[in-house]
Amino acid sequence: MNETDLAFTPALDLAQLIRRREVSPLELVNIYLERIQRLNPQLGSYFTVMADLAIADAKAKTEVLATTKELPPFFGVPISIKDLNAVAGVPCTYGNPALLNNIVNYDDGVVTRIKEAGFILLGKTATSELGSFPYSEPTGFPPARNPWNLDYTPGGSSGGAAASVAAGLSAIAQGSDGGGSIRGPAACCGVVGIKPSRGRVTHAPVGDRLSGIATNGPIARTVADAAALLDTISGYFPGDPYWLPEPQPSFLAATQKQPGELRIAFSTIIPPLGEADPTCEQGVLQTVQLLAELGHKVEQKSPDYSGLVEPFQIVWQAGVGAAGIPAPALQPFNQFLLARSGSAAEYLQAVAQMQMVSRQIVGFFHNVDVLVLPVYLHSPIRVGEWADLTPEETFQNIINWVAPCPAANATGQPAIALPVGFDSNGLPISVQLVGKPGGEETLISLAAQLEAANPWLQHRPALAT
């Protein structure tokens, strides 16, 4: 196996190669750091490359490997961390250039879990400023680009994370999702992204992100890798305001389990916001046809999202004010969101309304196991395509593009983005599977079944080979 093949090998397989002493952590880290040095100037996937820390950790782990038999599950496997999450001793910029020297002295809970699993941290990946945009082009940083076609965005706000996996600049990645920020980039870059159920993954040391709409989650090349990383980061941290019981026996085990006959609904329309373009629609329809061939019962129908749009916007945009960054230091769009922020009373009213509508949406799943939707309503935009729009125009464009995603954030339901093909620009096409609250095991089992029927791992961007 050559170095390029190793860079695109699934994380679980890399962990086994390390266990068998067929490759060392130091060898892997050097492979990824060489690729980052060579390709990141074109891709903008990383804001911060932790080369010295990664090499030191890899050397230590390589020495341990010679004498230790009991190893954590991902011992020596390289991973990237989104730059909305704190890593001790490393800058956390949140996509704002004023914070380039913001070196934090603690690890987020999800980073603690990742370190405990034996991963080696390669660096901090590109995000939009404060995670507010579905593309990753913050002022003061190179724009993140899609490895399948550099003219296009890899999405946002976990754009750098998804691009790092798709381009072989990391074995696997941590991301976060407050309105599609894992699923959208995974779709743009042709990788697997899981937005877990509310309470599945901690937000420690803080207790909550925007009344529970945001969560950390995995981005990976395969469903099994994503499931295994979800196993790693799942679980209660003391003081978490929401939590769920552990899966039995694991999410990874769900990839080896047949889902049985499921009741599957599908839609390519998100009223009142619009319908999918022909490319995204075709991705859904082809997937639904495959699901029917696999023995599932499929029906065209969807929940009513009409009452969710306004309260979700109020809750989501409050994240800009919560960051505490003065308006002059923000990009114009975030200044616009900050100016729209209302009072605490208005925020709480929006939360209450969002929760009431969410109850109706969750009720739809009493008689449905999985809902198949587009991830976004149209294919990725070009880098800089919306740069000259007014904030008002940008806001409306974002709402209309990401429309299929925010409902799962509002309800706290799990959802998976899964690649299924390519469009005419050579960009991946993906679909979104939404499950019952706490229903990751069913979703993961179904996603693994679809992946087996329509394999994807053999595809690599030409840039990265």
Residues tagged active-site: 82, 157, 181
Q: How far apart are the first and last CA of the chain?
A: 14
Here the tokens at position 448 are 């693994």
Burial code (b: 16+ CB inside 10 Å, e: under 16) for 336-345 equals bbbeeeeeee
DSSP strands (E only) in 301-384: 370-374
Place of tokens 């003065």: 326
* Residue 29 φ/ψ, nearest 5 degrees: -60, -40
Here the tokens at position 389 are 């729009």
CA angle 348, 353, 359 (to 5 degrees): 125
**DSSP H or E run through 397:** helix 391-401
- C-alpha of 51 from chain center: 24
DSSP strands (E only) in 277-342: 297-300
- C-alpha of 274 from chain center: 23
**What's the rounded Cα separation, in Å, for the pair 31 and 379?**
32
Q: Name which of 180, 190, 141 is nearest 158 in CA terms.
A: 180
Here the tokens at position 69 are 């038999």
Here the tokens at position 245 are 């019981």
Residues in the chain: 465
Q: Name which of 215, 231, 233 is nearest 223 in CA terms.
A: 231
- C-alpha of 432 from chain center: 12
DSSP conformational letter for 76:
T
